[in-house]
Structure 1
Amino acid sequence: MSRWAWLWRLVSRRLWFRAAAFSFAAALLALVAPLIAPLIPYELGAKIGADAVDNILGIIASSMLAVTTFSLTAMVSAYGAATANVTPRAVILLLEDTTSQNALSTFLGAFLFAIVGIIALSTGFYGEQGRVLLFGGTIALIVVIAVTLLRWIQHIALLGRVHDTITRVERAAMAAVQSVQHRPRIAALATPPVPADAQPVRCGDRIGHVTNIDLSELGEAMAACGGHVHLAVLPGSFVDPGRVVAWVVDGDEATCARVAESITVQRDRSFDHDPRFGLIVLSEIASRALSPAVNDPGTAIAVLGAQLRVLQKLAGAKGAPFDERVVVPALAIEKLVVDAFRPIARDGAAHVEVAMKLQKTLAALGGFAPDWSAAARHAADDARHRARAALSIENERLAVARAFEDWPE
């Protein structure tokens, strides 16, 4: 994704942006009525008095302020519940929830529309015909508020719940799969060899996670110098001043600087373009559920199903089109499997149902994705050893030991 498109994406998903846009549109709608007023018949305007519109606007102004405050309280409570009961890394997905943003923006916009309308009516800004337009806009706004409230009531009942958060993280990881440049490979083949005469590129004094790489900018830079670049990082990689992020062949210092600028580094990791982060967050949800304070093996089993669906899509990914002058490393299969399943194997070793489900999940992964079978079997062996050490009943140990080979029985 280009740098400017990435910045626009970040800004447009902020809660304040949508609320500000809706509020500006609502205030503008209330102020443009006099400009269209001459098109309204005078007789129709005379039938609608200022008091009729003013009373409705007063009700909207008082009620929408209360609804907006309630909505903010409910959203903050949902964010707190997600932080405490799921994982703090998933809260960003709740903050970017479009339904919540649309509801809050609609209520705030309706409040401002009513306030601006009341002020304009009290100053005689509209006139006879202008009141007709204001009245029509108010009726339309009431319909929008009613529909938004109905959707919001259903939505707020699920916001921040464990199952809802698992679904959101799974969808974010699925969306990130669409941006991978190569189908995941074993670690030995994930990174292509770098020519001996390549120049190293570093990100200066920036420390953080790679969140976006402007591949189109890299392609233009390589076309200008006639060389090619080997990237050493992917979205999600942690970089520091000493780490090489790319190798440039047949490029000068200006080209190397351009390559470094095309790599966005931020403090926090992002779900965009980084399916591995989605798998990590899913495993964190399972680990929280398996903690002694929560003790919810069912959530860990649900997470294993979500992870298997994400990995299935990753295994079948064909990769997005890319410029041959920009060599991008692939995701390493072994790292993906370890990130997804090792925390669950560690924290769920003492739960026989979780240990068995993990063995069956890994067997299924190796069954539909032959390239993943070696990593899946290695993870299954590790999980089986952990379960054998944690389980005290021999029958349960045997059940876990047979689960991988007995799949899909």
Structure 2
Amino acid sequence: MNRWQWAFRLLTRRMWFRAALFCVFAILLALASALLGHLIPYQFASKVGAQSVDNILNVLATSMLAVTTFSLTAMVSAYSGATSNITPRAVQLLVDDSTAQNALATFLGSFLFAIVGIIALSTGLYGESGRVILFGGTILIIAIIVVTFLRWIEHITRFGRVNDTIHRVESAAMKAALAMGTSPRFGPRQRREVPDDASRIHHDCIGRITHIDIPALHEVAQDLDGEIVLSALPGTMVDPSRMLAWTKARIDDELVKRLRSAFTIAHDRAFDNDPRFGLVVLSEIASRALSPAVNDPGTAISVIEAGTRVLTAMLTHEPDEDEAPTEDVVVPAFAFPDLLEDLYRPIARDGAGLLEVSIRLQKSLAALATTAPQGASDCAAMARNALDRALKAMSNETDRETITQIHLRYWPAP
């Protein structure tokens, strides 16, 4: 995905975008009645009860303003609840919810349709034929309102709840995992040596990488007739001292500018191209649930199961040719130990004293080791770390023996 496609995707997620589209449609529909009225025969117009359109529009204008205010209040309450009770990082997924945006856009657009229709009627813009078209447009708008309102009633019952938020974060992380161009890298962390004579690319901004325009880097690499090696992935914190990429070819200021423009830098991390961020947010939800004020181990277990599904998708996903980076742009893989730490370490720390959480951790890591045997050593290291934390935190000897037996069942002592 290039930079402009990415920017357009972000634009379509803005809450005002759908509302603006529906409002424009509603206004055009209201004004079209005056322009197309001559197409309706007068005899037909006199038979249709379009005189009642005035009252209908007044009812729409009054009710839709109240419904819009109610919907907006419900959405803000869901955002506030997620911020205080779940995690602030998950709020953006609620803001991007298409059903909520469609509901708000429909109600606001219907209100504007009614207002424009009332104003046009008061000025005598519509004749008898124009009223028929306006009446038909009003019936269409009412049908859209009914369908949208029924969907909104069903949707709002779970909107912003803990389980709903976990599902949203899991879905976002899953999409990011399936968009990865390479599989995770197993084993200890490795650093690729940068030649002394290489040209290093740095950015003059401070923030998080949210998108990398691989096609743009490919064009630069072709101009250089060389290879560009990335040293930062989406989610990386960038500052003037952090190297983004390097190449053995000689580059001038114009090429440096083109290389920098391929990296989108924002203040906050985004879910789309950063699967680690989804795992981090899942672990934050579990940590909040395991806090003494909440004490909800069931939510932590749900998070572990969701994270297991995401990691399994990463391990079993085979990138398509379109997703894979080009030969002249080298993209490093996410380190599997980092992915495990993002999800499991906070949960192992905060849930160390709870037997049910510790058991689920061990079973989850064992499932991943079975899915990807080449990552079994990484899973075993995380399982031992979780066991050590549990043994130190548990005061009951029976609990300590149980978790030790569970661990040895999947990770026998050498």
TM range (shorter): over 0.9
What amino acid is aligned across from residue 63 of structure 1 in structure 2? Answer: S
Structure 2 gaps of 5+ residues are none
Q: State the shift of 1:187 in Å.
A: 5.5
Q: Deviations over 1:205-225 (max 9, x none)?
A: x11110000001001111122
Q: State the shift of 1:321 in Å.
A: 2.2
Q: Distance in 2 between matches of 1:171 and 1:107?
A: 28
Q: Deviations over 1:321-364 (max 9, x none)?
A: 22111010100001000111000000000111101111111111
What amino acid is aligned across from residue 393 of structure 2 in structure 1? Answer: A
Q: State the shift of 1:198 in Å.
A: 1.8
Q: State the shift of 1:189 in Å.
A: 7.2
Q: Distance in 2 between matches of 1:188 and 1:344?
A: 22
Q: State the shift of 1:371 in Å.
A: 2.1
Q: Deviations over 1:30-80 (max 9, x none)?
A: 111222222211112223466411111111110000000000010011111
What amino acid is aligned across from residue 91 of structure 1 in structure 2? Answer: V
Do the aligned residues in 2 keep the contact of 1:209 with 1:269 (CA within 8 Å)? yes
1:10 corresponds to: 10
Q: Distance in 2 between matches of 1:46 and 1:283?
A: 66
Do the aligned residues in 1 keep the contact of 2:271 with 2:278 (CA within 8 Å)? yes
3-state SS in 2 of match to 1:32: helix
1:112 corresponds to: 112
2:219 corresponds to: 220
Q: Distance in 2 between matches of 1:283 and 1:130?
A: 59
Identity of aligned pairs, percent?
53
Q: Deviations over 1:105-134 (max 9, x none)?
A: 000000000000111111111211111111
Q: Distance in 1 between matches of 2:171 and 2:146?
A: 29
Q: 1:333 aligns with which of 324, 336, 341?
A: 336
Change (3 A) 1:3 1:299: same
1:63 corresponds to: 63
What amino acid is aligned across from residue 138 of structure 2 in structure 1? Answer: T
What amino acid is aligned across from residue 225 of structure 2 in structure 1? Answer: G
Do the aligned residues in 1 keep the contact of 2:50 with 2:135 (CA within 8 Å)? no
Do the aligned residues in 2 keep the contact of 1:26 with 1:113 (CA within 8 Å)? yes
What amino acid is aligned across from residue 298 of structure 1 in structure 2? Answer: G
Q: Trace 1:221-300 onto structure 2 (pairs within 5 A).
A: 221-253=220-252, 254-300=254-300
Change (3 A) 1:268 1:190: same
What amino acid is aligned across from residue 334 of structure 2 in structure 1? Answer: L
Do the aligned residues in 1 keep the contact of 2:387 with 2:407 (CA within 8 Å)? no
1:90 corresponds to: 90
1:376 corresponds to: 379
2:131 corresponds to: 131
Q: Distance in 1 between matches of 2:10 and 2:18?
A: 12
Q: Deviations over 1:248-302 (max 9, x none)?
A: 2214122222111111111000001111100000000000000000000000000
Do the aligned residues in 1 keep the contact of 2:182 with 2:324 (CA within 8 Å)? no
Q: Trace 1:13-162 onto structure 2 (pairs within 5 A).
A: 13-48=13-48, 51-162=51-162
* Number of aligned positions between the proteins: 407
What amino acid is aligned across from residue 73 of structure 1 in structure 2? Answer: T
Q: Distance in 2 between matches of 1:326 and 1:107?
A: 47
Q: Distance in 2 between matches of 1:349 and 1:30?
A: 62
Q: Tell me the TM-score normalised to structure 2 length.
A: 0.95
Q: Distance in 1 between matches of 2:332 and 2:185?
A: 9
Change (3 A) 1:290 1:40: same
Alignment partner of 1:207 is 2:210: no
Q: Distance in 2 between matches of 1:178 and 1:77?
A: 32
Do the aligned residues in 2 keep the contact of 1:177 with 1:313 (CA within 8 Å)? yes
Do the aligned residues in 1 keep the contact of 2:353 with 2:394 (CA within 8 Å)? yes
Q: Distance in 1 between matches of 2:197 and 2:42?
A: 81
